[in-house]
Amino acid sequence: METLTQEKLAEKFQAKIDADIKIEPNDWMPDTYRKTLIRQISQHAHSEIVGMLPEGNWITRAPSLRRKAVLLAKVQDEAGHGLYLYSATETLGISREETIDDLHSGKVKYSSIFNYPTLSWADMGAIGWLVDGAAIMNQVALCRTSYGPYARAMVKICKEESFHQRQGYEIMTTLMNGTEAQREMAQDALNRFWWPALMMFGPSDAESKHTEQSMRWRIKRFTNDELRQSFVDATVPQAELIGLKIPDPNLKWNEAKGHYDFGAIDWDEFWQVVNGNGPCNKERIEARVKAKEEGAWVREAAMAYAKKHKS
């Protein structure tokens, strides 16, 4: 059999991607494709896991049994989504432990939105509606990503997440139909989460260093700005319908473009939070490290038990 040169392999690889043929774990892939995917998928997995913390904060204080059951189910889903994605990361040849240690050391990031605190019950509404809404925007596009295990995980996640956004919007709707204080609480949550939610899509296309290559590899199917615009267009009418006001004086419908124009994002804040200086960065990582360290004896005991009982 003729041995293929790296160049030939790379050519065949790109041809497969161009023909929308999925790449599977044992297929040849360029090193940079593998590395980029490890970064992207593990970052996504970490976001699911860290994302459990701000919502977990309200489980014991949910206002009714119905809301508590829903919130528990949602947080449990996030754990499941983290696990699907850690498995997908592992198919690229990095161990789960290394992946998790990279989160704890700060080498790999997670979505910066989870570095904001959840101060009131309305934040559960804002997070479900806006944060899961923004995540779904991104994830629906990723169902068609070129790497098979990632695409399959995304399909499952999207199916499960559709309730997450609805339950959040339902919380906001209920509050907006409530007392003056409840309406204020909902508006305050929107005021705090609107801009961070827009930042979830990442830097603007002009600043995004990975976009071009990632689009060519089809591990990204739309640019950050395209997804952000879709999110604004979809969300503004939802806010208006229930009487919430988007905290952006420059927001207005642009008839010619068929899109909303919106104000400038404070990218300094974005980079501050990404680089570790958000309100809760330290707390979030500490919680994860503590979970790993304090759970170590349980994992070791389970392994020792399994070894002992192996025939």
Partner 1 sequence: MSTNEWPLWEVFIRSKQGLNHKHVGSLRAPDSAMALQNARDVYTRRSEGISIWVVQSALITASDPSDSEAYFEPADSKVYRHPTFYDLPDGIEHM
Interface residue with partner 1 among 21, 119, 215, 302 (CB under 8 A) is 302
Interface residue with partner 1 among 5, 20, 26, 297 (CB under 8 A) is 26
Query: Hey, is 147 helix, strand or coil?
Result: strand
CB of 122 to partner 1, least distance (A): 27
Which H or E run includes 11?
Answer: helix 6-18
d(CA 175, CA 184): 9
Can residue 59 be called a binding residue for partner 1 (CB under 8 A)?
no
Distances (CA, A) of 191 to 78, 181, 195, 197, 236: 25, 15, 8, 11, 13
CB of 70 to partner 1, least distance (A): 13
Can residue 76 be called a binding residue for partner 1 (CB under 8 A)?
yes
* Residue 231: both structure tokens together: 């999110």
Q: Of the candidates 177, 183, 226, which has an alpha carbon nearest to the alpha carbon of residue 204?
A: 226
Touching partner 1, residues 238-277 (CB under 8 A): none
Query: Hey, is 111 helix, strand or coil?
Result: coil
Q: Is 106 left (phi over 0), alpha (psi -120 to 50) or beta?
A: left
Nearest to partner 1 of 60, 311 (CB atom):
311
CB of 48 to partner 1, least distance (A): 12
Place of tokens 């609805």: 166
Interface residue with partner 1 among 32, 66, 69, 80 (CB under 8 A) is 80
Can residue 170 be called a binding residue for partner 1 (CB under 8 A)?
no
Segment contacting partner 1 by CB under 8 A, of 45-53, 169-177, 270-278, 294-302: 294-302
* Residue 214: both structure tokens together: 């990632």
Nearest to partner 1 of 163, 195 (CB atom):
163
Nearest to partner 1 of 2, 20 (CB atom):
2
Distances (CA, A) of 296 to 25, 190, 251, 281, 302: 29, 39, 50, 23, 10
Q: Is 93 left (phi over 0), alpha (psi -120 to 50) or beta?
A: left
Query: Hey, is 237 helix, strand or coil?
Result: helix
What's the sign of the alpha-carbon dihedral 157, 280, 267, 259? positive
Can residue 24 be called a binding residue for partner 1 (CB under 8 A)?
yes
CB of 26 to partner 1, least distance (A): 5
Interface residue with partner 1 among 2, 97, 268, 294 (CB under 8 A) is 97
Nearest to partner 1 of 283, 300 (CB atom):
300
Touching partner 1, residues 137-156 (CB under 8 A): 152-153, 156
CB of 53 to partner 1, least distance (A): 19
Can residue 290 be called a binding residue for partner 1 (CB under 8 A)?
no
Interface residue with partner 1 among 16, 39, 96, 210 (CB under 8 A) is 96
Determine the size of the site formed for partner 1 (CB under 8 A). 28
DSSP 244: -
Can residue 78 be called a binding residue for partner 1 (CB under 8 A)?
no
Distances (CA, A) of 41 to 99, 140, 148, 302, 307: 10, 15, 12, 28, 32
Can residue 77 be called a binding residue for partner 1 (CB under 8 A)?
yes
CB of 302 to partner 1, least distance (A): 4
* Residue 308: both structure tokens together: 């002992």
| Binding stretches for partner 1 (CB under 8 A) | 24, 26-28, 73, 76-77, 80, 83-84, 87, 90, 95-98, 152-153, 156, 160, 299-300, 302-303, 305-306, 309-310
